[in-house]
Amino acid sequence: MNRKIALKAQNLHKTFYHPIKASIIRGIDLTVHQGEAVAITGRSGEGKSTLLQLLGALETPCRGVLEIAEQPVTRLNKSKIRNKHIGFIFQFFHLLEDYTALENTLMPACIARRDISKGSEAYQRGQELLEHVGLTERAHFNAKLLSGGEKQRVAIARAFCNDPDIIFADEPSGNLDKETAAQIHTLLLDVARRGNKSIVIVTHDPDLAGLCHSNYILQNGLLI
């Protein structure tokens, strides 16, 4: 089977020089195919989040090559790639508090300068996504008023808004109780599967890791 490659990282290195020199990532190679779910676990402070930011083009590697959706990531196309091909889900949800759930969901479309007026294609997609995550009634609630689980569901919907190729989730359930966490896990993987999206999850949760196709452990700056 010749599947499309969603992410290809070769020999990624990241070293911080402040406050002291610390080589966090020391040559990582990773390939994620379309529709594949990958879990990365590891102890706290190993640099899982840094790795995720490197893979998600939020951080610039010191050395190495990153390709997303078969395009090499450069300084100039980073923003565009993040917008078009990548979705992020954070531990602390990171919604824009002044906007409603639907507006938050549509923000990536908005940044892509697509029409998000009522009845537009993007608007419909936003509502569909909220329906997938079961928040249709909450669509016009201000983000401030939602519970943690609801916020994370909005964040999931937002991550899928621009129909990206790959989703990065950083401890998506780290801030939720067990039951809600389980719901979120199922939902996340379900939505990803439905869209045939690749997903890279950084987590401490063995349950979540167990649900993924492949598991890696980050240790001493290398993936095992």
Partner 1 sequence: MFELSIAFKYLAPRRRQLSVSIISLISILVIALVVWLIVVFFSVTHGLEKSWIQKLIALTAPVRITPTEAYYHSYYYQADSVSAESNYTLKTIGEKLIAAQTDPYDENVDGEPPKHWNAPDRNLDGSLKDPVKLAFQAIGSLTGVPGLTAHDFEMTVSNLRLRLVRNHAGEEPNQAFLSQAAYVGSLEPDNASIVQALLPPTAEDLDNTLSMLTVASTNIQEDNPEDLPQLNARLAKEQLQRFFGSVRVKELKTPPQGWMLPKRLLPAHAQFTVVVALKNDHIIKLIVPAHANEAVLIQKNLEAAKQKTYIGQLEIVNGEMKLLHADIAESLPLSTPLVIEQGVSFPVELAQASLEQASHIRDVRFNIIFQLQGVALKGEVSYGHLAISQADVMHRYQQSPQHQPLWTYAIQNGKEIHLTIPSDPHNGDGILLPKSFKEAGTLMGDRGYLSYFAPTISSVQEQRLPIYVAGFYDPGIIPIGGKYVLATQEVTSLIRASHNQEDTTLSNGINIRFDNLEQADQIKAELQAAFDKAGIARYWRIETYREFDFTKDLIQQLHSERNLWTLIATVIIIVACSNIISMLIILVNDKKLEIGILRSMGASSTSIALIFGLCGMVMGMVGSMLGMSLAILTLHNLQGLLDLISRLQGHQLFNPVFYGNTLPSEVSVEALIFVVIATTIISLLAGLIPAAKASMLKPSSILRSE
Question: Which tokens is 10 given?
Answer: 């070769």
Residue 135, SS3 per DSSP: coil
Q: Are 144 and 165 in contact (CB under 8 A)?
A: no
Told to check if 88 binds partner 1 by CB under 8 A, we report yes
Q: Is 200 in the site for partner 1 (CB under 8 A)?
A: no
Q: Which is nearer to partner 1, 33 or 78 (CB)?
A: 78
Q: Which of residues 104-133 bind partner 1 (CB under 8 A)?
A: 107-108, 110-113
Q: Rounded distance, CA 84 to CA 61, Å?
A: 21
Q: Which of 70, 92, 190, 214 binds partner 1 (CB under 8 A)?
A: 92
Are the C-beta atoms of 211 and 49 separated by less than 8 Å? no
| Shortest Cβ 126–partner 1 spacing (Å) | 14
Closest CA to 129 of 89, 69, 76, 173: 89
**Is the Cβ of residue 137 or residue 140 nearer to partner 1 in the bound state?**
140
Of the residues 158, 198, 208, 221, which one makes contact with partner 1 according to CB under 8 A: 158
**Alpha-carbon gap, residue 106 to 113, rounded angstroms:** 11
- 79 binding partner 1? (CB under 8 A): yes
Within residues 31-70, the interface with partner 1 by CB under 8 A covers 49-50, 53, 56, 58-59
Closer to partner 1 by CB, 141 or 183: give it.
141
Number of Cβ within 10 Å of residue 90's Cβ equals 19
Residue 1 beta carbon to partner 1: minimum distance, rounded to whole angstroms: 31
Beta strands in 63-155 (DSSP E): 63-68, 71-72, 86-89
Residue ranges in contact with partner 1 by CB under 8 A: 49-50, 53, 56, 58-59, 79-84, 86, 88, 90-92, 94-99, 107-108, 110-113, 158, 162
